Amino acid sequence: MLNIDGISKSFGDQILLNNTGFQINPGERVGLVGRNGHGKTTLLNIISGSDHADEGSVSCPSGYRIGFLSQKISFSKSRVIDEAILGLLEHEKDNHWKVEKILAGLGFSVNDFTRNPIEFSGGFQVRLNLTKVLVSEPDLLILDEPTNYLDITSIRWISQFLISWPREILLVTHDRSFMDNVVTHIAGIHRQKIKKIKGDTSKYYLQIAQDEEVYEKTRLNEEKRKKEIELFISRFRAKARLANMVQSRIKTLDKTESKEKLQKMKNLEFEFNYLPFPGKQIMQIKNLSFGWGKNNLLVDNFSLTVYPEDRIAVIGKNGKGKTTFLKLISENLTPIDGTIKINPGVELGYFEQTNVQSLNDEFTVEDEFMRSSPDSDRQAARNICGAMMFEKDLALKKIAILSGGEKSRVMLGKMLMTPLNLLLLDEPSNHMDIESCDSFVSALYNFEGALIIVTHNEMFLHSLANRLIVFKNDSVHVFEGTYQEFLEKEGWEEEGIMVEKKIKPAALSKKELRQKKSDVIARKSKEIRPVKQKIERLETDIEKNETSISKTNDLLLEASSAKDGQKIQVLSKELAELQNLNEKMFEELEIQMELFEKIETAFIHQIEEVER
């Protein structure tokens, strides 16, 4: 068990954590969420001991071991297997099978085991670090963006591995579907505080929204009440016979702490600038071949027609040719054979992680946006700066001092400056937080042009793709359908990585299907009817009560004009009781509305399950 109590952490005048904390109890797998720059990595560093809090404490039982996935690369052995074995506990140094199992799951072949770690790409070197952490079997496993360098098969493998992890996990990832699949709890950093709930990210963000709604409603009620008290004091301060009441209200006012209005949280919110395209086809690819020689082809005799409404996802294991394919169709590479014809009127935008090297370190963010579209004015550039979360003075930051995530946002912003009808995106979400990923998916969903995207994020695949280009078993083919249909019909059984296909249950007859639907509807109607009736009663009661409040307010104003102290006293008490009753009814209404939504959601899921 790990206990984080009352910690605070600041950098200069920026407060990240303010007298906050939470617990990780035995067996809990906790997902840590929060916006970029709000303290997730700082909190992980404090827990692992590589940083310290300004105030507060982090405590755990004696002998409690913490394993932390480091993105820093440092190897002391000349073979992958020997380096990975360093992670084993002393009494398990001979259990090489544990190391081999995890290396294979993370995409290393048997031949890779004897290669030198320095021969591998940075992504595979991070996987080797991950292997060392996993085989050390710590009490608390801390993973900071473990999926950034993993392909789909490795992500699906490690997801199952972590679900069966017998001890505690603290996970940070931008991949929402991966997090929801693994964790039992969510701990979120929000407004310098940490809130932990049982459940997934959807439940957490719903709870945050409800908490803020309640806070704002309470703040407005308190402001209204405060103004009423101030009005009473100013009117009757000089009345000797009301002196006690005035003094009582003055004391109440002194004790009342004003709640500050919550500052609006800025999200990455934008839309791509669509250039209308009148043609029926965006691109034709015919008999395309490419590789590092005739005997080592990544793409062999591949053909595809891209249409204006296409949402094409390019999927497969790392190193199979996905990024190369995007470079070919963006004309950054020349094929060995075949043709790529991009039709007139097509304007494409191409995003890849290495594109950030094209940014000028001496330019500001605003300068980069202005340079990307000379026809645009400074105000247009400023608007894009705001959409990319570079507001006000942040737009004047030099490229040289930006983080990797900020540079990625600049590259996306440059794409927004130009009207486009074809987007080519290579792993665009790697430096985004979960909130930004949600906004990005929404922007892509609403884009009217064609999209070709390389991604390992299964939320993106489920949300966007209507066609797939699949790199699998050393070949590439087009799958006509959604990602869910691909999982059901093909799945990811390949090259030693066994991921089960979803097995569809035996099809029901139309009569059985109607009966099952009828049973679900009847059961849910029985559950939902009393809740619905209670909501309707509460709404009626609230309406009646608000009418009474309005009438009492009018009577109080009349009594105030008539300077009738006794009547003012009676009516003030009556008004306070009516307002308290209203607040209680509103609270009960919110509870019943939430219950109603849960039943409705469960009902929809059960109907969908029956239809599947």
Predicted confidence (pLDDT) per residue in 500-525, tens digit: 443 344 444 555 555 655 665 666 56
Give the Cα separation of 359 and 406 in Å (integer).
12
What size, in residues, is the chain?
Answer: 612
Least-confidence region, from 7-11, 66-70, 380-384, 497-501: 497-501
pLDDT of residue 604: 63
Which of 19-33, 141-155, 230-244 is the most confident on average?
19-33
pLDDT of residue 519: 63
566 three-class SS: helix
| β-sheet bridge partners, residue 305 | 284
Q: Which residues contact 344 (CB under 8 A, 6 or more apart)?
A: 279
Q: What are phi and psi of 61, to 5 degrees?
A: -65, 160
Give the Cα separation of 172 and 36 in Å (integer).
11
Tokens of 99: 């190391």
Tokens of 495: 């090259």
Confidence class of residue 465 from pLDDT cuts 50, 70 and 90?
A: very high
Residue 253 has pLDDT above 70, yes or no: yes
Residue 369's nearest CA partner among 411, 397, 406, 423 is 411
CATH topology of domain 2-205: Rossmann fold (3.40.50)
Residue 460 has pLDDT above 50, yes or no: yes
Residue 199 has pLDDT above 90, yes or no: yes
Percent of the chain with pLDDT over 90: 38
pLDDT of residue 603: 64
Q: Which residues contact 304 (CB under 8 A, 6 or more apart)?
A: 283, 284, 285, 469, 478
Question: Which of 2-12 are b and which e, b meaning 16 or more Cβ less than 10 Å from the residue's Cβ?
Answer: bebeebbbeee
39 three-class SS: coil
Number of Cβ within 10 Å of residue 320's Cβ equals: 22
Type of residue numbered 76 = S
Q: How far is CA 240 from CA 247, 558, 565, 573, in A?
A: 11, 20, 11, 20
pLDDT tens per residue across span 523-579? 656 677 787 788 788 878 887 887 888 888 778 878 877 878 788 888 888 888 888
Give the Cα separation of 413 and 453 in Å (integer).
17
pLDDT of residue 497: 42
Q: What are phi and psi of 189, to 5 degrees?
A: -90, 115
Number of Cβ within 10 Å of residue 570's Cβ equals: 14
Look up tokens 């404090």; give the residue.
Answer: 46
pLDDT tens per residue across span 286-303? 999 998 766 778 899 999
Confidence class of residue 23 from pLDDT cuts 50, 70 and 90?
A: very high
Residue 589's nearest CA partner among 548, 545, 547 is 545
Residue 234 has pLDDT above 70, yes or no: yes
Domain 283-489 has CATH 3.40.50.720: no
| β-sheet bridge partners, residue 186 | 31, 197
Q: How far is CA 391 from CA 266, 301, 386, in A?
A: 10, 48, 5
pLDDT of residue 607: 60
Dihedral sign (CA 73, 78, 79, 81): negative
Residue 384 has pLDDT above 50, yes or no: yes
Number of Cβ within 10 Å of residue 231's Cβ equals: 11
Give the Cα separation of 31 and 117 in Å (integer).
30
Percent of the chain with pLDDT over 70: 90
End-to-end CA distance of the chain: 41
Note whether 112 and 140 are within 8 A (CB).
no
Q: How far is CA 187 from CA 51, 107, 206, in A?
A: 20, 30, 13
Average of per-residue pLDDT across 300-324: 91
pTM score over 0.95: no
> What single DSSP character describes residue 240?
G
DSSP secondary structure string, 378-417? Answer: HHHHHHHHHHTT--GGGGG-BGGG--HHHHHHHHHHHHHT
